[in-house]
Structure 1
Amino acid sequence: MSSLTDRYLAATLRAVPAARREEIATELRGSIEDMIDGRRAEGRDPATAEREVLTELGNPAQLAARYADRRLQLIGPTYYLAWERLMKLLLSFVPATVGIVVGVLEATDGENPGGAIGEGIATGLQTAIHIAFWVTLVFAVLERTNTSLNLPAWTVDQLPEDHVNRQITLVDAAAAIGWLVLVIAYLPLQHFRSFVPTDDGGNLPLLDPALWSFWLPFLMAVLAVNVGLEVAKYRAGRWTWPLVAANIVVDLAFAVPVVWLMWTDRLLNPAFVNRWEWLSREENLNTIATIVIAGTVLVVLWDIADSAIKAYRNRH
């Protein structure tokens, strides 16, 4: 575990321009050490002196804004940081969740399954706009009416347990693992409860049941390995070349079978395809296959490139 000073520096430096981080780190560390020495001369023990100094300096986000000459104000400075945290939290998952739910419902219950993707994206964007507008409006009213939210004062105990160059936070790791667990759970779930009924009221799986002979268990195993990789990434705190190599292997182990199965018309359940007149048309099925293949390839290429770039930056 890093010292409180290291953690304070990490929290401050991640919000300042990269070009000035080394300069600010040297200046801020020197100031903190001088202040601690002053309090130790007054008889305080080192740990108490360090906590008092960092508490006096205040929230790292506010200190970083002063270093960067950036105003923490949209509709007022009092609740800007609370507004920013809430906006990031809500926008990180609510629009995507709503969009996916609407898209799935449109695909299974609507009269135009082909428009499900567009409907999901449009709904997600509308949700994001509503969140941004209403949350900002509420904070603007609170600011203008001087309403107290009785928010707890900042303390050093709120400093994240990571080091200056940590690239992978607990929130990032938890979100990735949560998504992987949902996908792993969905693969068997869709076989028993896809919400697409057959003519006799049974369940119509989205994926070809024949894939249970090998490919679906294989994909679930790859996703489980990916969960382990996410844990390893979080423990390392940053991308390393061994982790990049493992990430490439796991990405390709999942993407190549998905692309091949979709390309050879073996991924989707034939009964599910024939259930929808629009989807059963060859040109429309080819469009869906192209979208799935292109999307899978782009996501994998982006993930590999992103991990390699971050690992390169760590070494240089």
Structure 2
Amino acid sequence: MTETTSDLTERYVWAVTHRLPAGQRDDVGAELRATIADMSEDRLAALSGDPMAMPISSGRAGSADSVTESVVGDVLVELGDPAVLASRYRGGARQLIGPDLFYDFRRTVTTLLAIVVPVTLIVAITVNLAIEDKSLGAGIGEGVVFTLQVAVQLAFWTVVAFALAERARSRTTSTGATNSTEPGQAWRPSQLPKLPAGRPIRLSGTIISAVVSLVILAWLLAQQFLSSFQTPDGDPIPVLDPALWSFWLPVLIVFLVADVAVSVISFRARRWTFPVMMINVVYNAVAVGFVVVMFTTQQVLDPRYVVAFRQSSPDLDPGVGVHFVLLIVVLIGVLDIVKAIRGYRQRG
């Protein structure tokens, strides 16, 4: 095959195999290449004995290359929509979350649960035993129940996010963004996306980033009203110093919303282009810098909360938790910057 027809074949193979589990991709790719080559050779052999049946390219008889490309295009039309073919290879249809997104969805849920569930369980049990001063059985039992509730909520909202993404994809017909075909329209090779250059920006990473930002945002709002400690009047003592709401926390909320926007922009670009890389680098640098300044120049914890915490758990220092959170924020920011730069350098 010529370079043009080989490119067309590879684009089709990629459009099918990137929807499959990693373990299937090599075998299915080899099978598809062999099938396309055999079908193309059969068609060319049949056409060689009938000059009047030669394909027409751009309204006139084409060269050998254009004839071969046209034959390969006809073969791909016969094989059909890559999304449908990939679904057949996997076996079974999934309606709420379609074949394009299902394995990204499964990977996202697995990753989130693997990270969030153990951390939530440890924190919940520690709070129940060390701060709430509950018995061992009650502390563990309530911690398990709370963790299960968090896991259910996490899974539910991830399903909602992917279901909305699936509906959005089904309405998108832009070339290269999807291979899905609108009802009543025949799939054509012109709908094939270009071959990816470098590492793609996956939806699973976008969903994880958005979910984490929204969870932090929800906690910032909830910590004012849901607290382990109360004033003598029975009012909840917030974890964070209320004085931060005069400037620092509203700006932090803006950064959290911006993080979701940056993730969506990056995913829509699909690739680590220079603008996408710069947006991620600048955002992470500014956001991390802001958090570092806030943590090092401001009183982050409410003084009343610190007093109540130390009275409840004299052996524990809440300041250690503040430094740990700051370390995690800096580490994540640096890793995101490195990922963006590496993704741009590996774009091909």
Residues 1:296 and 1:174: Cα distance change in structure 2 (over 3 Å): closer
1:138 aligns to what? none
8 Å CA contact 2:277–2:341 kept in 1: the answer is: yes
1:172 corresponds to: 205
Length-normalised TM-score, structure 1? 0.60
Structure 2, unaligned stretches of length 5 or more?
A: 1-9, 48-52, 54-70, 92-102, 133-139, 149-178, 181-191
Q: Does 2:241 align with 1:212?
A: no
Aligned to 2:294: 261
Q: 2:249 and 2:201 mapped to 1: Cα distance?
A: 29
Report what 1:197 is aligned to. Answer: 230
Return the alpha-carbon distance in structure 1 between the equivalents of residues 287 and 305 of structure 2.
23
Flag the structure with larger Rg. 2
Q: CA deviation at 1:99?
A: 2.7
Give every structure 1 segment of 4 or more consecutive aligned residues whose post-TM-superposition deviation is greater than 6 Å: 24-27, 39-45, 84-87, 278-283
1:309 Cα deviation after fit: 0.7
Once residues 216 and 257 of structure 2 are traced to their aligned partners in structure 1, the CA distance between those partners, rounded to angstroms, is: 10
The number of residue pairs the alignment matches comes to 248
Which of the residues 26, 32, 36 maps onto 1:32?
A: 36
Structure 1's 214 and 237: CA in aligned 2 closer, same or farther, altered over 3 A? same
Greater CA deviation, 303-312 or 97-106?
97-106
Which amino acid letter does the alignment assign opposite residue 298 of structure 1? L
Q: Give the conservation status (yes or no) of the 8 Å contact 2:108–2:207.
A: no
Percent identity at matched positions? 24
2:104/2:204 contact within 8 Å kept = no
CA RMSD of aligned residues (A): 4.6
Could you tell me how far apart the structure 1 residues matched to 2:90 and 2:280 are?
33
Distance 1:107 1:260, change over 3 A: farther
Once the two structures are superposed, the pairs formed by residues 245-256 of structure 1 within 5 Å of their partners are: 245-256=278-289
| Residues 30-67 of structure 1, C-alpha deviations (whole Å, 9 max, x = no match) | 64254366479799965651239994996379xxxxxx
1:27-106 to structure 2, matched below 5 A, reads 29=33, 31-35=35-39, 38=42, 49-51=78-80, 55=85, 59=89, 88=107, 91-106=110-125
Q: Distance in 2 between matches of 1:89 and 1:264?
A: 36
- Mapped to 2, the partners of 1:214 and 1:85 lie a distance apart of 38
In 2, Cα distance between equivalents of 1:182 and 1:99: 16
Shift, 1:14, TM fit? 6.2
Partner-residue secondary structure (3-state), 1:192: coil
Q: Is the 8 A contact 1:168 1:237 kept in 2?
A: yes
Partner amino acid for 1:95?
A
1:111 aligns to what SS in structure 2?
helix
On the 8 A contact 2:130/2:312 being kept in 1, the answer is no
- Pairing of 1:217-228 with structure 2 (within 5 A): 217-228=250-261
In structure 2, distance between residues paired with 1:217 and 1:57: 45
